[in-house]
Amino acid sequence: MTLAYIGLGSNLSDPEAQIHQAIVNIKSIPNSHITQISSLYFSRPMGPQDQPDYMNAVLALDTQFSALELLDHLQTIENNAGRVRKENRWGARILDLDILLFGDKTINTERLIVPHYGMKAREFVLIPLAEIAETLLLPDGDSVSTLAKNIATNDLKIHSQLNSMR
């Protein structure tokens, strides 16, 4: 089993319901088990500000799949939710599921970059990740909790607890 951390985000079509359904769908991935789920957070959008605020969370998933097999499962969940991939990288979206970390591996392929390339600059990733993995070190040795303590919060706010959904 490999412990992966997955970032969840949505800002369209009832984002809270989208996140809840995504968690239900992730729970149904075979040979995998959710071990932790952060609180649900409100965050301002990255990029264009003419879109609704996001809801974000992070979960920990023990899985027997490879990183690319897990990515396939997550993209199927996104597609089934109605995700449309657009050229605008930071545009509004129904559901966004990102593999943030996959064990202690560093992966750099055309389809997947792990650790997630922008995670150190994103409060909506670091703060929920530190909530569920306070002592976690990134593959480069950086402490998630130290990064989370030092990042600007950009008005990130806790919306609700999700850990009961494990």
- The closest alpha carbon to 3, from 36, 41, 40, belongs to 36
Asked if 68 and 19 touch (Cβ cutoff 8 Å), the reply is: no
Q: What is the pTM of this model?
A: 0.93
Q: Looking at the predicted structure, is the pLDDT value of residue 8 above 80?
A: yes
Provide CATH code, domain 2-165: 3.30.70.560
Mean pLDDT, the chain, rounded, equals: 91
Task: Give the number of other CB atoms < 10 A from CB of residue 85.
Answer: 10
- The reply to whether 122 belongs to the active site is no
Rg (C-alpha) for the chain, rounded Å, is: 15
For residue 141, the SS3 value is coil
pLDDT in tens, 43-78: 988 767 778 889 999 999 999 999 999 999 999 999
pLDDT in tens, 76-128: 999 888 766 665 566 678 899 999 999 999 999 999 999 998 899 999 999 99
User: What does 73-103 look like in DSSP terms, one character per residue?
Assistant: HHHHHHHHTT----S-TTS--S-EEEEEEET
Query: What's the CA angle centered on 31, arms 29 and 32, to 5 degrees?
Result: 60
Asked if 93 and 51 touch (Cβ cutoff 8 Å), the reply is: no
The model's confidence at residue 161, banded by pLDDT at 50, 70 and 90, is confident
The model's confidence at residue 164, banded by pLDDT at 50, 70 and 90, is low
* Catalytic residue chosen out of the listed positions 50, 83, 104, 122: 83
As given in the structure block, the two tokens for residue 20 are 């809840």
Domains in the chain: boundaries: 2-165
Asked if 132 and 38 touch (Cβ cutoff 8 Å), the reply is: yes
* Catalytic residue chosen out of the listed positions 14, 85, 93, 155: 93
For residue 127, the SS3 value is helix
Q: Looking at the predicted structure, is the pLDDT value of residue 30 above 80?
A: yes
* Catalytic residue chosen out of the listed positions 85, 98, 104, 166: 98
pLDDT attached to residue 87 = 58
- The reply to whether 111 belongs to the active site is no
- The reply to whether 98 belongs to the active site is yes
* Catalytic residue chosen out of the listed positions 96, 104, 111, 142: 96
pLDDT attached to residue 51 = 81
- The reply to whether 142 belongs to the active site is no
- The closest alpha carbon to 96, from 113, 110, 82, belongs to 82
